[in-house]
Amino acid sequence: MALLPVSDAQQRLLALAGPLPPERVALRAAAGRWAAEPVQALRDQPSADISAMDGYAIRFADMPGPWTVTGESAAGRAFAGSVSAGEAVRIFTGAPLPPGSDTVLVQEEAARDGAALALALAGEGPAFRGRNVRVRGLDFTTGDTLIAAGDRLTPARLALAGVAGHGMLPVRRNVRVALAATGDELVPPGAPIGDAQLPETNRAMLAAQLADLPVELIDLGILPDRAGALEAAFRALDADVLVTTGGASVGDHDLVRPALIAAGAHIDFWKIALRPGKPMMAGRLGDAVVVGLPGNPVSAFVTALLFVRPLVAHLAGAPDPFPRPRAATLGEPLPANGERTDYLRAELRDGRAYASTIQDSSMLRTLARAGCLIVRQPHAPPAAAGDSAEILDIG
Ligand SMILES: Nc1nc2c(c(=O)[nH]1)N[C@H]1C(S)=C(S)[C@@H](COP(=O)(O)OP(=O)(O)OC[C@H]3O[C@@H](n4cnc5c(N)ncnc54)[C@H](O)[C@@H]3O)O[C@H]1N2
Ligand code: MOO
């Protein structure tokens, strides 16, 4: 069976399910999620002309003074009257300008004695009408579209939506992701361990890889290499996404695919032109998308980066969920590549990428040291030191 190119597999994966249904959640709960609808301003900001400085509201036409102070305007406590010729109102940052005034004289440039106000130094004072005033609607006005559907709700956008009058925001509901490790040799990290056993690390790694996405993780634990137990766990699934690791290849104990099929799954693809990560599979099980990752930790990491994270982001409403490679300079030559897209663990030093000598997909130490993956396209010719290469940052 021919191996599926990485980009074809990525497109087919996203085609398995669309974004989850929308819901409205409080501002804080929307952090890091994607807007399901455009967000429009419900108010003008600022809603009146307000002072940007502590000082005195004056009429610019009255420059260079002197003035008589007739009252005070503070943030949240506007002056009730207005400003007539020769009058000034004490004003503070964020306070509305009283009607009649149009300019703020900062207090550092003012000399005040009781109600008498003058410039501290001749020639100082505001240089133009409107100085130190934030005019109504400076930031935005009612009806402006401030956030587009599909925009990520960054900290700044949350604050923007809040000041625009929104207490709730339209997002996609959180993605329920079930994680299952498979393998009779696996024990939880830190547990007593025999020689034939191995600490199970893929669930912790995957959970951390998804930590910045809007997920609810469901831990299905470590499943044994037994068809019946796997099938039972898959049948009981209640999640939007099932991610398994291990048992994806062709050995006698690689039972994930047959168990998924026995549980009623449709496998859309299996085996990708990818190194590491070739045995990855994906399909549907009821309403859920299932992704079977290879067990080797580096293969699981790379396939989670290229497939699982983008799938979760897609379900959460991200319009462009795939990691974006950037160009970097190779520090050392690389040999020609074979038929699979190769993702080489590499260190970045002085802006140059140096691939680890050994790229075995079991080796977590080289992964932990790597700042990036060098992406080698199928059949790429040999590359020299100083050549440009595509990399994916992972540091
Ligand atoms: N004859 C062939 N053999 C293999 C092929 C092949 O095409 N033909 N593909 C190889 C490739 S590529 C990979 S990758 C591996 C992955 O296969 P599996 O998904 O079946 O992985 P396992 O055999 O279950 O495990 C591989 C390795 O990783 C360890 N492991 C598994 N799960 C975890 C975990 N949760 N945490 C930590 N370590 C884990 C496991 O103990 C094994 O050492 O197959 C090749 N074989
Ligand atoms: O995914 Mo396997 O790790 O290509 O060797």
Please state the φ and ψ torsions of residue 29, each to the nearest 5 degrees.
-70, -15
Q: Evaluate: CB of 244 within 6 angstroms of ligand 1.
A: no
Residue 22 is encoded by which pair of tokens? 């929308």
Closest to 155 measured CA to CA, from 15, 31, 18: 31
Ligand 2 site, CB within 6 A: 275-278, 294, 296, 299, 361
Closest ligand 2 atom to residue 302 Cα is: 1
Q: What pLDDT score does 395 carry?
A: 79
Q: What pLDDT score does 1 carry?
A: 67
Closest to 277 measured CA to CA, from 259, 251, 304, 255: 304
Question: Is 10:322 a contact under the CB 8 Å cutoff?
Answer: yes
Closest to 171 measured CA to CA, from 181, 157, 188: 157
Cis peptide before 297 (omega within 30 of 0): no
- DSSP-derived 3-state class of residue 164: coil
Full set of structural domains in the chain with CATH: 6-20+173-315 (3.40.980.10), 22-45+139-172 (3.90.105.10), 50-134 (2.170.190.11), 326-393 (2.40.340.10)
Taking the centre of ligand 2 as the mean of its atom positions, its distance from the CA of residue 220, in whole angstroms, is 24
Taking the centre of ligand 2 as the mean of its atom positions, its distance from the CA of residue 299, in whole angstroms, is 6
Q: Evaluate: CB of 45 within 6 angstroms of ligand 1.
A: no
Q: What pLDDT score does 2 carry?
A: 87
Question: Is 182:293 a contact under the CB 8 Å cutoff?
Answer: no
Name the residue with the closest Cα to ligand 2, atom 4: 276
Q: What pLDDT score does 253 carry?
A: 87
**Cα-to-chain-centroid distance, residue 51:** 35
Each residue's pLDDT tens digit, 101-112: 999 999 999 999
Look at strands 241-245 and 288-293 and give their pairing: parallel
Closest ligand 2 atom to residue 277 Cα is: 1
Taking the centre of ligand 1 as the mean of its atom positions, its distance from the CA of residue 276, in whole angstroms, is 10
Each residue's pLDDT tens digit, 39-82: 999 999 999 999 999 999 999 999 999 999 999 999 999 999 99
Q: What pLDDT score does 370 carry?
A: 98
Q: What pLDDT score does 286 carry?
A: 98
- Ligand 1 pocket test: pick from 179, 201, 249, 278 the residue with the most ligand atoms within 8 Å of its Cβ: 249
Name the residue with the closest Cα to ligand 2, atom 2: 276
**Amino acid identity, position 92:** F
Q: Evaluate: CB of 280 within 6 angstroms of ligand 1.
A: no
**Amino acid identity, position 168:** M
Look at strands 67-73 and 116-119 and give their pairing: antiparallel
- Ligand 1 pocket test: pick from 278, 296, 362 the residue with the most ligand atoms within 8 Å of its Cβ: 296
Residues 6+ apart with CB under 8 A from 345: 298, 355, 356, 359, 366, 367, 369, 370, 373
Residues of the chain with pLDDT under 70: 1
Q: What pLDDT score does 14 carry?
A: 98
